[in-house]
Chain A
Amino acid sequence: MIARALRDAGMEVIYTGLRQSPEDIAAAAIEEDVDAVGLSCLSGAHMTLFPRVVQVLKKKGASDIVVAGGGIIPPEDVPKLKKAGLKGVFGPGTPLADIVAFFEKAASGRSR
């Protein structure tokens, strides 16, 4: 649903599928030269998986790629995730328009 909303906002969305490891996601993000990565996690493992994507990207010299995440995320985790390097965290009930606006800003703010 989010991918479709982003496409309808004129973005090219690369969908990598479910259950990808942080390493897979970072590698795909680099090959595709994306502006931003959007993660979704409903399993409750977001506190380990999300920051790991940020770390792997940093290790590969791609810390300019914006990382954001959403899913079932308790409000108290939000500041921790932001501290871990996520630029956007979207809990349940976030309006789609907010998410689209975030990625639009992320894409325009990044320079090559």
Chain B
Amino acid sequence: MKTLVQRVLGGDKRAAAKLISMIEDDEPGARDALRKLYRHTGKAHIVGFTGPPGAGKSTLISRLIKEFRRRRKTVGVIAVDPTSPFTGGAILGDRVRMPEASLDPRVYIRSMATRGHAGGLALATFDAVHVLEAFGADVVFVETVGAGQSEVEIAKRAHTTVVVEMPASGDAVQILKAGILEIGDVYVVNKADLESAGAMVSNLEQVIPQRSKGWRPPVLRTVASEGTGIAEVAEQLERHWRQLHASGELAVRELARAETELRGALAEAALHRLAAKPATERKLHRALKESPRGRLTSGPWRKSSSAEPALSTDTSPRRRSLPSRRTHDRDDRPSERLYREGEMSERWQAEGARGRSSWSPRRLGSNGEAWRQSSRHF
């Protein structure tokens, strides 16, 4: 009887599927299996796709799957869609745009719900990427939720980031202020048969910065629904992969990637530990009862200063944090009751959820420079 790990390494889809589910559910054995798989990973080209909903990310990926299969590559896809913050359920619909692919044994597509993780990805996304690498994928496409401007986590975790835009999705100001436009290695203006495509392309060309030495991000035009421009996108992805190797940038990004993964794991572990203490829950209940609604901070949980009042009225979102959403019975949490009563805005909730990951857009700075510098530093 082969073990799950051996079956994944042998290219068994069902085994890979089971292992990804185990990782998603944080089941015992998942971590052990991942550890064993780890030394079989690290060879695949990880390509992240982000951009506003409806820009055509899924359709583009579906075309690229075919193109990379033509180039005799094994392709893995992780497509992330949002979990409903109210019910915990999700409708994962990216597969609709990727028909026929699952009959090919050298293509593996997996849908994934964010399960409360902010940043456009699920917590399990990159562990799942490792599984697909071990499964034998030469290239792994990761499709983010694509809710707009904050989905930049992908840039820290993929080798190549593709930003998919469409014509008429905003004027030059929108383009400038969106953090999403500073993370791409390749830009794709999809639906390029629309009238304003030319304006979008020239706007982009004016504002996108160079992300790494020796690579000027190209702006490409596609009509994914018809398959136009796809070969050129594939060509540029492969060119960027070669360039990362040639310039030594790959090592820098790999280190930054490892750091992000480690920090994420650490933050997760710390939150689990904190949230597992009954005292945390008691303090949370008390604080919510005592404070004016929606105007409390993480003050009561911080050990640091006794001089600090237990509850302040500071509403700085960065300092708010709630125990991990995952470890509690959904109905039992006071926060959940507040959502139900409509007292808390969705934004508040998003801030709370953001507290779970190590990722903070603030740290990046408005131009992404901080991250670039810190990754060079390594």
**What residues of chain A have their CB less than 8 Å away from a CB belonging to chain B?**
3-4, 6-17, 20, 23-24, 27-28, 30-33, 60-62, 112
User: Is B10 engaged at the interface, CB distance under 8 Å to the other chain?
Assistant: no
* B294 on the A face (CB < 8 A): no
Chain B CB within 10 Å — which of A28, A31, A32, A62 has the most?
A31
Which of A6, A8, A28, A62 is in CB contact (< 8 Å) with B102?
A28
Q: Contact: A30 with B87, CB < 8 Å?
A: no
Query: Are A24 and B17 also in contact (CB < 8 A) when A7-B87, A14-B92 are?
Result: no
Cβ–Cβ < 8 Å partners of A15 in chain B = 91-93, 95-96
Known contacts A7-B87, A15-B95: A112-B103 contact under CB 8 Å: no
How many Å from the CB of A106 to the closest CB on chain B? 15
By a CB distance below 8 angstroms, the chain B residues around A11 are 89-90
- Bound-state CA distance A7–B92 (Å) is 10
CB-defined contacts of A6 to chain B, threshold 8 Å = 89
Shortest beta-carbon distance, A40 to chain B, in Å? 14
Report which of A9, A10, A17, A31 forms a contact with B13, defined as CB distance below 8 A: A31
B21 beta carbon closer than 8 Å to chain A: yes
7 pairs, CB–CB < 8 Å, chain A vs chain B: A8-B87, A10-B88, A10-B89, A12-B89, A15-B96, A27-B102, A61-B14
- Nearest-neighbour CB distance to chain A for B55, whole angstroms, equals 19
Instruction: Enumerate chain B interface residues (CB-CB to A < 8 A).
Output: 13-14, 17-18, 20-22, 27, 83-84, 87-93, 95-96, 99-100, 102-103, 108-111, 113
Contacts of B84 in A (CB 8 A): 7-8
Question: Residue on A with the closest CB to B115?
Answer: A12
Contact among A3, A20, A32, A112 for B91, CB-based, below 8 A: A3
Residue contact A24 to B89, C-beta cutoff 8 Å:
no
Q: What is the minimal beta-carbon distance from A83 to any residue of chain B, in angstroms?
A: 26
Residues of B within 8 A of A27 (CB): 102-103
> Considering the chains assembled together, what is the distance between the CA atoms of A62 and B102 in angstroms?
15
**Could you tell me the distance between the alpha carbons of A14 and B99 in the complex, rounded to whole angstroms?**
13
B91 CB contacts on chain A under 8 angstroms: 3-4, 7, 13, 15
B102 CB contacts on chain A under 8 angstroms: 24, 27-28, 31
- In the complex with contacts A7-B84, A24-B99, A33-B89 CB distance below 8 A: no
Asked if A62 contacts B92 (CB within 8 A), the reply is no
Q: Besides A8-B87, A13-B91, 19 other CB < 8 A contacts? A: A4-B91, A7-B89, A7-B91, A8-B89, A9-B89, A10-B88, A11-B89, A13-B89, A15-B93, A17-B99, A24-B103, A27-B102, A30-B14, A31-B13, A31-B102, A32-B110, A33-B17, A60-B14, A62-B14
Q: Which residue of B lies closest to A25 (CB)?
A: B102
Q: Quick check: B89 and A31 within 8 Å, CB to CB? A: no
Indicate if the CB atoms of B17 and A30 lie closer than 8 Å: yes
A44 to B342, CA, bound (A): 45
A8 to B89, CA, bound (A): 6
Question: In the complex, which of the residues A4, A17, A24, A112 contacts B18, with contact meaning CB atoms closer than 8 Å?
Answer: A112
**Complex contacts, A10 vs chain B, CB 8 Å:** 87-89
| Of A4, A12, A23, A27, most B-chain CB atoms within 10 Å | A12
Query: Which residue in B14, B20, B103 is a CB contact (below 8 Å) of A23?
Result: B103
Complex CA gap A30/B13 in Å reads 7
Bound Cα distance from A23 to B100, whole angstroms: 10
* CB <8 Å contact, B89 and A17: no
What is the CA–CA distance of A27 and B99 in the complex, to the nearest angstrom? 11
Give bound CA distance, A46 to B34, whole Å.
41
The 8 lowest CB-CB distance pairs between A and B, nearest first, are A7-B89, A33-B17, A27-B102, A17-B96, A10-B88, A33-B21, A15-B93, A14-B92
Q: How far is the CA of A17 from the CA of B58 in the complex (A)?
A: 14
Residues of A within 8 A of B95 (CB): 14-17, 28
How many angstroms from the CA of A3 to the CA of B93 in the assembled complex? 11
Q: How far apart are the CA atoms of A32 and B189 in the complex, in Å?
A: 30
Contact A20 B93 (CB under 8 A): no
**CB nearest neighbor in B for A61:** B14
Residues of B within 8 A of A30 (CB): 13-14, 17
Residue of chain A at shortest CB distance from B21: A33
Bound: A77/B109 CA distance, A: 34
* Contact of B90 (CB < 8 Å), options: A12, A20, A112: A12
Q: Tell me which residues across on chain A come within 8 A of B14, comparing CB atoms.
A: 30, 33, 60-62
